[in-house]
Structure 1
Amino acid sequence: MKTELRGTTKPVLLPSPNLFNTPQVGSLTGGLKGCLGSLDGACIEKLLLHCASALESNDVTLAQQVMWVLNNVASSIGDPNQRLASWFLRALISRASMVCPPSTMNFHNPIQRTRTRTKSMSVTELADYVDLTPWHRFGYCASNSAILKAVQEHQKVHIIDFSITHCMQWPTLIDILAKRPQGPPSLRITVPSCRPPVPPFLNVSTQEVGARLANFAKSRNIPFDFQVINTSSCGPASDHVLSVDFYSELLLSQLSSSFLNISDDEALVINCQNWLRYLSDEPAGENTQDISLRERFLKIIRSLHPCIFVVVDEDADLASPSLSSRITACFNYLWIPFDALETFLPKDSCQRTEYEADIGHKIENIISFEGLNRIERLETGVQLVQRMNKAKFVSATFCEETLKEVKFLLDEHASGWGMKREDDMLVITWKGHNSVFAAAWVPNGSTCGL
């Protein structure tokens, strides 16, 4: 971990433990004593790991002591280190409340005991949310460029869209397709009616989103159709939030050429934005030879013979069964958005607080939960490449025009953002650290350049 990039602040003088009727910190190990009053990222990480170790060994007393220290250095309105630490502390308290008897947990701070909540946004608020950093816009830019290249000779395009950002990607693509020299194609977009229980949440239905896209496409003279994949448990007029594995089983059962009404004269595009992580990567049955839901999904996608399959996700390994490993990986990765927001939003910005709350939702799930309740099972881009090769996909390289478009996008944001190629992926970085990757794939046996 390169803690120098996170910066340091002046040490905080902690009040006497007796002032808050909390456990004495004198019993902390020597290594922890050295962190008292420090806001250095390495020391905060050490405290988090000690707390995790205490919880895993059911040492409630030590866990309380470390949480008390964290409670005094963390702040939801402080610098990036403090703000990140406050969300990890919430997650650890949430986890402790599940595994320890309530009577043994001596915390009276209502803010720290509150579970992460995120609000539902209007379409305008969601657009502002997406524009805040290149986190999502990079994926849109790289994906749209790849899609345009793949469908350039086709008059009918069908996009099956798996995304957590409610079709925010498509107005830009529709606008570009409308300007195609040979004329725009007809466009059909298919989306699932159910979604993973993760932010951002939207205060209008999927059907309303489709109606707005249809109006926009009409204004650009593009024939347009919007289709929702309805499952037996999701009605056509609602956006249900289900447990991820139950949702995934329902979704996979509906992914067939006949159900999706796929036509041979269409260019089929599969778009997967921050989605694969919510498909379990563990064997579906008791037999370790059983394939996972994620592997089943890729097998089904390959059977549909798409002309392009685009995958965008965050470039970190947050799926370890070890709590300590997840804390280390999560802390060393999610400092990126906290640090990036510090460069252009004031500490008391409501927009910043709400954006960080969505990251806090992720932290809580990664740290607080195990088993099927832990739905954030993110893998790195390198791990994805290995998975895609195993699933008999081959990568389609991004063209120079795509690189120029991504660079132009990043130039609109803070100077800390950069871009690089890695294993045929495009990766954006913050201060040299990988943040989000984009990769394009075709079934083995066909190749194209993007």
Structure 2
Amino acid sequence: MKAEQRGNASVSLQNPTLFNNTLHSPLSGALNGCLGSLDGACLEKLLLHCASALETNDVTLAQQVMWVLNNVASSVGDPNQRLASWFLRALISRASRVCPTAMNFNGSSTIQRRLMSVTELAGYVDLIPWHRFGFCASNSAILNAIQGFPRVHILDFSISHCMQWPTLIDTLAKRPEGPPSLRITVPSSRPPVPPLLNVSTEEVGLRLGNFAKFRDVPFEFRVFDNSSSPSTLGEVAKCKESPSFHFESLLAHLNPSTLNLRDDEALVINCQHWLRYLSDEQNGSPHGASLRDTFLDIIKGLNPQIIVVVDEDSDLSASSLTSRITTCFNYLWIPFDALETFLPKESCQRMECESDIGHKIENIISFEGFQRIERLESGIKLCQRMTNSGWVSIPFCEETVKEVKDLLDEHASGWGMKKEEDMLVLTWKGHNSVFATAWIPNGLED
């Protein structure tokens, strides 16, 4: 493999005989068998060997395995090679912090991501149905829940900068009885994860307002931060984006007064790829509950008409590094493989999308404690959590199922959808990728 085809983070080894030493180590059979192999299982095995060495502070073995990985992983190779190159980068990042004086590296492990324009963000969302699946399923469930209501208030928790709402606004404009008055409230800051946008939340709200005006939908966009009551778009200077994000502070402001809830509105809670950023550790919150459970309890107390929860269908909360690598490697293979079907290997758009996934990998693999913010749980575990928290699931109607299927027809043939109890699950070649669920507070169904 040519040097220029390797990943940006490469291991610098001073000992020219290290390769021979590697082949004579106790792992020689496994490592030798992987040289020249592009098999995903073999790459996963190498990653696990490296992780195990780091967990036992075996610096020499970690360097040896990284050397091998650096020669079989590639940022412009096949999906397994490209995925492995990001895992290698994450392991290098972890090693450089755990034992900085013992490890020598070329390149930076910090992933730099440029800011997108709104137009670029739209293209990003359309690339694969990772986000659009959730938008489609959620919007359909929301429309069913707000039938007959003249005023609707959406409390939006998401990482996609309100890209979900133009489609909903367009559909509301066509409602036979006329569109409702729509209000959307968002927090002023979001988890510091891709996609990142080069305009403020307020600017996004202005654009939504212009679109709603064009479609004759009465519209209001409000932003609330952690230190003041919700601000209108005219108070931009008082509500700036925060470079960091603290859920503890956010939870204190989720109350009817701060959110300016109104009795004559149907309240909708929208959680798109959001819950995983709330810590699931049972500390730092009242009664020993996790921030995730506390958030759900607070939201339930607001008595919403519906809450929709969409997230990636994988369990990446394990404390063991090797367990996280196994699950993460086999799960995040999905978007790498999907991108392979329609974008050239050296496509800039493809590389940028993969770098966003690399951001996730680095956080899952490189960090522990409060610095590891990616704590996914599977759809099944989320459903059990919601039930335990006093929520009742709402099945998706056949019309919603049809709309999602029509959406997937616009994408590669490998994408599919299945129903698991009341969940809708996006699949790639039969593998679960994203789940969508809808809930109401226990008792509201009466």
TM-score range, shorter chain: over 0.9
Does residue 1:236 correspond to 2:238, yes or no? yes
Partner residue of 1:405 out of 392, 398, 403: 403
SS of the residue aligned with 1:201?
A: coil
- Contact kept? 1:139, 1:312, Cα under 8 Å: yes
Residue 137 of structure 1 corresponds to which residue in structure 2?
A: 132
Residue 12 of structure 1 corresponds to which residue in structure 2?
A: none
Q: Structure 2: which 5+ residue stretches go unaligned?
A: 1-12, 229-235
Q: Deviations over 1:251-304 (max 9, x none)?
A: 1011001111111110000000000000000012499x6001101100001000
Does residue 1:165 correspond to 2:160, yes or no? yes
Alignment of 1:249-398 (within 5 A): 249-285=248-284, 290-398=288-396
Report the alpha carbon displacement of residue 22 of structure 1 after superposing the two structures with TM. Answer: 4.6
Residue 227 of structure 1 corresponds to which residue in structure 2?
A: 222
SS of the residue aligned with 1:440?
A: strand
The answer to which of 301-310 and 29-38 deviates more is: 29-38
Counterpart residue identity of residue 217, structure 2: I
Aligned length: 424
Counterpart residue identity of residue 178, structure 2: G
- Contact kept? 1:22, 1:106, Cα under 8 Å: no
Partner residue of 1:204 out of 187, 199, 208: 199
CA distance in 2, matches of 1:276, 1:237: 23
Counterpart residue identity of residue 127, structure 2: L
Does residue 1:194 correspond to 2:196, yes or no? no
SS of the residue aligned with 1:135?
A: coil
CA distance in 2, matches of 1:341, 1:292: 36
Q: Deviations over 1:37-94 (max 9, x none)?
A: 2110110010000000000000000000000000000110111011000000000000
Runs of 4+ deviating beyond 3 Å? 17-24, 233-237
Counterpart residue identity of residue 71, structure 1: N
Cα 1:20–1:172 shift into 2, 3 Å: farther
Alignment of 1:50-89 (within 5 A): 50-89=49-88
Identity %: 70
Counterpart residue identity of residue 419, structure 1: M
Give TM-score scaled by structure 1 length: 0.91
Q: Structure 1: which 5+ residue stretches go unaligned?
A: 1-16
CA distance in 1, matches of 2:141, 2:133: 12
Counterpart residue identity of residue 236, structure 1: K
Q: Deviations over 1:119-159 (max 9, x none)?
A: 11000000000000000000000000000000011000000
Cα RMSD, aligned residues only: 1.7
Report the alpha carbon displacement of residue 447 of structure 1 after superposing the two structures with TM. Answer: 3.0
- Contact kept? 1:97, 1:105, Cα under 8 Å: yes
Q: Deviations over 1:362-401 (max 9, x none)?
A: 0000000000000000000000001000000000010000
Cα 1:163–1:20 shift into 2, 3 Å: farther
CA distance in 1, matches of 2:118, 2:413: 28
Report the alpha carbon displacement of residue 415 of structure 1 after superposing the two structures with TM. Answer: 0.4
Counterpart residue identity of residue 283, structure 2: A
CA distance in 2, matches of 1:319, 1:32: 29
Residue 11 of structure 1 corresponds to which residue in structure 2?
A: none
- Contact kept? 1:382, 1:423, Cα under 8 Å: no
